[in-house]
Chain A
Amino acid sequence: MQITVKLFATFRAGRFAVEPRTYPPGTPIVEVIRELDIPEAQIGMIMLNNRHAEPEQELHEGDNLSLFPLVGGG
């Protein structure tokens, strides 16, 4: 299946902003995070098709996945 992955803020460094990517059907979001070598502790918010999502949710053909880092400064 093909999904669109969007990375935000510091996650773009050395990776990409938006990219179509291919995974086996039913791949959970956490697998994509691992494959992109993003430390899980840095994950702030996950959005799947513009809705807040959990790392264990499975992906489907045509999904839009957005990953945001935590932002904790002040």
Chain B
Amino acid sequence: MLTDEQIERYSRHIMLKEVGGKGQKKLFDGKVMMIGAGGLGSPIALYLAAAGVGTIGIADADVVDLSNLQRQIAHHTRDIGTPKVESAKAKMTAMNPDVTVNTYETWVNAANVREIIAGYDFVIDGTDNFAAKFVINDACVLAGKPYSHGGILQFDGQTITVQPGESACYRCIFPTPPPKDAIPTCSRAGVIGVLPGVIGTIQATEAVKFLLGKGELLTGRLLTYNALRMKFREVPIRKNPRCPICGDNPTITDLVDELDAMNVCDIQNNK
């Protein structure tokens, strides 16, 4: 039952035939777990809260740094030194007191990811390292939980939605992570500030569509985006029969950390 204030707040949703009062109720009842509260996580957090997604989990062990603020729009100058999950939660609940935000001030790893995602309907990967991206993929595939992958660097971004068992997963495309330091991070190679806004907003759109049960998800196709040339491309991706986790003869049957893909800080933090 929506209050008068909620009817007003969500009126632009409710007037859409794909949403309506029923759809808004689905969003209220929806539970989305977002991992990473940085560049991708910022627009995801703000749009999910604004949309009235009832329960939003947010995991990140980092604290806000001055160099984050050029792109991580959920964090403000006064938040420097504050845990990112607390900073993001404050903006989300200030924007929309209807939503419940559960914070997890931790890095995800093989030991904790299963429990973190367990109570949620949809997961969003907004992390900035391959070790996390692979363990999130594996946990979601093994749990049969749909999720959105996102990645950004410099002027390029990519995203794909995974429906485990039905569509290609991250390992169908990238079977193993690259060795650590093979691929530069945003902190080493730079990133144009608006880029995570584009990719993160697409990821939030996927979560909202999933909860509504409307439209077509970004499954079976990797969307790539180049901001300099302003080009979007779609690469069709089939389920890979040789995928190590969702293929015909999976070799990964339990969660393990990809230690080779972790940086030293992650390994220390996971101890």
Binding site for B on A (CB under 8 A): 8-10, 39, 41-42, 44-45, 47, 50-52, 68-74
Contacts and interface: CB of A to CB of B under 8 A. Distances in A.
Interface in B187-232: 189, 191, 196, 222, 224, 226
Contacts of B39: 73-74
B178 A73 contact: no
Interface string B148-180: 001111111110000000000000011000110
A53 B115 CA distance: 35
B196 A74 contact: yes
Nearest to A17: B229
Contacts of B130: 70, 72
Interface stretch (B23-31, B89-97, B233-241): B233-241
Interface residues of B, number: 40
A52 B151 contact: no
A9 to B, nearest CB: 4
A2 B157 CA distance: 30
Q: Which of B39, B186, B224 has the most chain A CB atoms inside 10 A of its CB?
A: B224
Contacts of B178: 41-42, 70, 72
A49 to B, nearest CB: 11
B183 A74 contact: no
B150 A74 contact: yes
B126 interface: yes
B236 A51 contact: yes
Say what secondary structure dominates the interface of chain A: mixed
Interface of B: 36, 38-41, 125-130, 133, 150-158, 173-174, 178-179, 182-183, 185-186, 189, 191, 196, 222, 224, 226, 235-238, 240
Contacts of A8: 156, 224, 226
A74 B151 contact: yes
Contact of A70 (B174, B191, B236): B174
B40 A74 contact: yes
Which of B41, B153, B236: most chain A CB closer than 10 A? B153
A52 B185 contact: no
Given A52-B237, A72-B151, A73-B39, A9 B179 contact: no
A74 B235 contact: no
B222 A74 contact: no
Given A9-B155, A9-B226, A52-B236, A42 B150 contact: no
Contact of A52 (B40, B125, B129, B238): B238
Nearest first, the 3 A-B pairs at minimum CB distance are A41-B182, A74-B128, A73-B186
B226 A74 contact: no
A72 B235 contact: no
B242 to A, nearest CB: 9
Given A72-B183, A74-B126, 10 more contacts: A9-B156, A41-B179, A47-B235, A52-B235, A70-B151, A70-B182, A71-B153, A72-B129, A72-B133, A73-B153
